[in-house]
């Protein structure tokens, strides 16, 4: 594997799982007041772009 591909895969995984702790906390506490919609949306769009880039 090329180093650029490995770096892209690591970046994609980091982006995809970066909001997972917030999601787990929200599910456990059932409190969504700590979620910033714009940040969550940005991560979701960023993850989609990474997936499109990888295809």
Domain spans of the chain, in order of start? 19-55
| Residue 9 structure tokens | 């895969």
43 neighbors 12 (Cβ within 8 angstroms): no
Angle, CA of 9, 10 and 12, to the nearest 5°: 65
> Can you give the pLDDT at residue 21?
82
Distance separating alpha carbons of residues 28 and 34, to the nearest angstrom: 13
Does 31 have pLDDT greater than 80?
Answer: yes
User: What is the tens place of the pLDDT at every residue in 34-52?
Assistant: 777 777 787 778 777 777 7
Over the stretch 8-26, which tens digit does the pLDDT of each residue have? 778 778 777 877 888 888 8
What is the reported pLDDT for 48?
Answer: 79
In whole angstroms, give the CA distance from residue 55 to residue 51: 6
Please tell me the pTM assigned to this model.
0.54
């Amino acid at each position: 594997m090329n180093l650029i591909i490995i770096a892209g895969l690591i970046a994609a995984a980091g982006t995809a799982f970066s909001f997972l702790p917030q999601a787990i906390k929200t599910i456990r506490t059932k409190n969504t007041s700590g979620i910033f919609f714009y940040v969550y949306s940005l991560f979701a769009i960023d993850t989609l772009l990474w997936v499109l880039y990888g295809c």
